[in-house]
């Protein structure tokens, strides 16, 4: 059976599948090329991202309401509150531990092998109190809006297109989420797909976006606040001792 996609939802699909990846890739690559990034540059980046994501999310929620989709269909409910609560706590703890271990491995690498993630952390992540305050607002926005867009709306739409086939919904949502992070390169693309896959399974299992919103928040806040501090501390130790800490395998801190 052919299922038509309304113009407004087709527009959202186009934005998520084409505009968001292109926009993110161009902006991040341009900023990474700069010798230095000022506080004004970072605050402008944070503000524009916050504004764009909330506008798109509000539009999606408006159109879903206009077309009769319930909050429950978007994962904006707690059909199994105790399950959602325990999964939220367990997933958040697991993500936090993984992020800390990943950042530690990154910091242990020689500078020349830290590559893209060093540039991302030191140029785009917050470097002072004002930037950290704005970054907190950014992370709250991303955790709420991206979960609604990818695990809420997109997963619901892929399940509808797949005539209720949950595997198609999970895979479709994970692919769309990974493509949005194409600026992180092949390694980041694969890692984001795996994370998106896990988050989509949890959303389907619990019927709620609460666990993935919480996990998304702790993943981004730990990477954004801890990675720059640890990298600078490692640089300072290296300058004092004239030695680089031993190398080890890197795990993507996202």
Domain for residue 251, yes or no?
no
Contact 231, 244 (CB under 8 A): no
CA 122 to chain centroid, in Å, comes to 18
In degrees, rounded to 5, the angle at the alpha carbon of residue 251 between the alpha carbons of residues 227 and 225 is: 15
And the tokens for 110? 């020689």
pLDDT of amino acid 231: 85
Give the integer Cα–Cα distance in Å for 76 and 176: 20
Domain for residue 1, yes or no?
no
Domain for residue 136, yes or no?
yes
86-90, 150-154, 246-250: least confident range: 246-250
Mean pLDDT of the chain: 89
The domain total for the chain is: 1
In degrees, rounded to 5, the angle at the alpha carbon of residue 146 between the alpha carbons of residues 69 and 7 is: 45
Domain for residue 160, yes or no?
yes
Contact 91, 195 (CB under 8 A): no
Per-residue pLDDT tens for 197-243?
A: 999 999 999 999 999 999 999 999 998 999 888 888 877 777 777 65
pLDDT of amino acid 253: 38
And the tokens for 132? 């950290």
Question: Length of the chain in residues, anyone?
Answer: 254
Domain for residue 246, yes or no?
no
pLDDT of amino acid 9: 96
In 119-185, DSSP assigns E strands to: none
Q: Which residue range is the domain that position 192 belongs to?
A: 7-241
Residue with the two structure tokens 């990675």: 227
Contact 138, 46 (CB under 8 A): yes
Domain for residue 254, yes or no?
no
Contact 22, 182 (CB under 8 A): no
Per-residue pLDDT tens for 125-148?
A: 999 999 999 999 999 999 999 999
Whole-number percent of the chain with pLDDT over 70: 93
DSSP-derived 3-state class of residue 204: helix
Please report, for residues 32, 40, 77, 115, the alpha-carbon distance to residue 26 in angstroms, rounded to integers and kept in the order given.
10, 19, 36, 18
Domain for residue 192, yes or no?
yes
Residue 111, number of CB atoms within 10 A of its CB: 12
Q: Indicate the DSSP class of residue 121.
A: I
Per-residue pLDDT tens for 146-199?
A: 999 999 999 999 999 887 789 999 999 999 999 999 988 888 899 999 999 999
Domain for residue 155, yes or no?
yes
């Amino acid at each position: 059976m052919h299922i038509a996609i309304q113009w407004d939802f087709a527009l959202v699909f186009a934005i998520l599948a084409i505009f968001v990846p292109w926009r993110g890739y161009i902006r991040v690559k341009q900023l990474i090329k700069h010798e230095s990034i000022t506080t004004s540059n970072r605050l402008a980046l944070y503000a524009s991202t916050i504004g764009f994501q909330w506008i798109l999310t509000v539009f999606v929620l408006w159109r879903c309401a206009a077309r009769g989709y319930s909050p429950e269909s978007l994962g904006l409910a707690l059909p199994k509150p105790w399950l959602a609560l325990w999964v939220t706590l367990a997933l958040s703890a697991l993500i936090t531990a993984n992020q800390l271990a990943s950042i530690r491995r990154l910091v242990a690498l020689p500078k020349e092998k830290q590559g893209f993630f060093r540039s991302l952390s030191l140029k785009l992540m917050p470097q002072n109190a004002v930037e950290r305050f704005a970054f907190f607002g950014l992370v709250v926005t991303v955790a709420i809006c991206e979960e609604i867009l990818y695990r809420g709306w997109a997963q619901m739409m892929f399940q509808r297109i797949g005539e209720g086939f949950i595997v198609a919904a999970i895979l479709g949502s994970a692919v769309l989420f990974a493509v949005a992070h194409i600026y992180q390169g092949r390694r980041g693309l694969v890692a984001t797909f795996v994370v998106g896959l896990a988050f989509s399974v949890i959303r389907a299992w619990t019927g709620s976006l609460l666990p993935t919103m919480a996990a998304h928040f702790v993943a981004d806040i730990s990477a954004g606040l801890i990675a720059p501090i640890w990298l600078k501390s490692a640089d300072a130790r290296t300058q004092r001792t004239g030695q680089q800490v031993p190398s080890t395998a890197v795990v993507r801190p996202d």
